[in-house]
Amino acid sequence: MTDWLHRTIPAERIAIARIVIGAYSTAYLVARAASIARLADLPASHWQPVGVAHVLPGGPLDAGVVWSLMALGVVAGTLFTLGWRLGLTGPLFGGLLLVLTTYRNSWGQVFHTENLMVLHVLILAAAGTAGATASLDARRAGRWRRTVDGWPVRAMGIVTVITYVLAGVTKLRVAGGSWIDGDNLRHWIAYDNLRKIELGDLHAPLGGWLVQHAWVFTPIAVATLVVELGAPIALLSTSWARRWALAAWAFHVGVVALMAIVFPYPLLGIAYLPLLDAETLPGARRLIAWLGPTELDLRTTPQSVEVALGGSLRPQVRGLPASAREPGVPGAERPRR
């Protein structure tokens, strides 16, 4: 088990995860900033703390404090995405993101659209400098790793899978086998759309139309449970991960079509990134090129080959012939400056 967890992966994979998840969650904070700050205007009696908000002194935060935390979070998130002082900016951003999203969820409604994003960032934060390839840290030090310990990416994959399994198990625990007959799902889709109409929000006309056709909901309910409870197959291999991710993505597209509920993190595919060979995805190389080694770096004949040793790199082997380098992994070395 631990061998599987720590099996090395191309360094670009974790760098892509850091850049994409970091950029997304930072942009998310920016997009939500005004709405989070406005929460301070709600009556204090509506404050229902969840998670770490239980330990916030004095309940709801002043709007000025929220804006300050937000600004700090955006700066930390940007630096984390760029890979500057990852040992510092990772934990700082992870902590601020946790606090701010927890605050947002502490007003009577847990949104569930942020849970996985926060969990992934916390894992990347705990990984510290492990994701330092294609980063300002690596550029400053002139070090490029070819492979790294794959635990952060696998931990994120495991957490992704667990969250889907939990959602499936909860349906069976709460509603029992009756959830499968589709009636409950039909009522929820109808109710959710009705509620949106009556509360002045966009609804899904397709969902409103479909609730008139009861028979459709049994296959939809079964398919939902198959995707959720079947999530562990994504850990078997990359090809299974691709198939499951596609099915889960289609499930979220269905949720948008029938309920106008947007889970942007999975809909953009970011939730599934840790399960895939991210470095092989279209555009992945281009994405990290601006922080990674240049063509010149890659062509440089290594007088000193830097070998990844956990989180640090040491000029351990000098004059190692090219044939002795790890085959098929392009991340090359760059001499120290």
Partner 1 sequence: MIAAIARFDRRRWGTAVTVAMALAVSAPLIGPAGYDDFPVSSYPMFSRELRRTVDLAHVVGRTGTGEERVLPPELLGTDEVIQAYETVRTAVAGGAAMLDELCTSVAEHAEAELVEILVVTDTFDVVDYFGDGRSPIARVEHVRCATPSQGEVA
Instruction: Rank residues 214 and 246 by Cβ distance to partner 1 and give the closer one.
Output: 214
- Bridge partners of 148, per DSSP, are 9
Tell the smallest beta-carbon distance from residue 266 to partner 1 (Å): 13
Residue count, binding to partner 1 (CB under 8 A): 79
| Residue 292 vs residues 23, 281, 286, 327: alpha-carbon distances, Å | 16, 17, 10, 19
CA angle 123, 125, 130 (to 5 degrees): 90
* Site track for partner 1 across 176-205, x = CB under 8 A: --xx----xxxxx-xxxxxxxxxxxx----
Out of 63, 75, 126, 256, the only residue in the binding site for partner 1 (CB under 8 A) is 126
**Residue 4 makes contact with partner 1 by CB under 8 A:** no
- Mark the segment that binds partner 1 (CB under 8 A) among 57-65, 158-166, 246-254, 269-277: 158-166
**Residue 236 makes contact with partner 1 by CB under 8 A:** no
* Site track for partner 1 across 19-58, x = CB under 8 A: ----------------x--xx-xxx-xx---xx-------
The CA dihedral of 116, 121, 127, 130, to the nearest 10 degrees, is 110
Tell the smallest beta-carbon distance from residue 37 to partner 1 (Å): 11
Contact 188, 207 (CB under 8 A): no
- Please enumerate, as own/partner, the contacts of 285-289 that have beta carbons within 8 Å and a separation of 24 or more: 285/12, 287/16, 287/19, 287/20, 288/12, 288/15, 288/16, 288/19, 288/133, 288/134
Out of 167, 247, 257, 268, the only residue in the binding site for partner 1 (CB under 8 A) is 167
Tell the smallest beta-carbon distance from residue 239 to partner 1 (Å): 23
**Residue 147 makes contact with partner 1 by CB under 8 A:** no
Handedness of CA 100, 70, 271, 308 (dihedral sign): negative
Nearest-angstrom CA–CA distance, 103 and 54: 10
**Residue 158 makes contact with partner 1 by CB under 8 A:** yes
Tell the smallest beta-carbon distance from residue 107 to partner 1 (Å): 6
Out of 12, 149, 279, 306, the only residue in the binding site for partner 1 (CB under 8 A) is 149
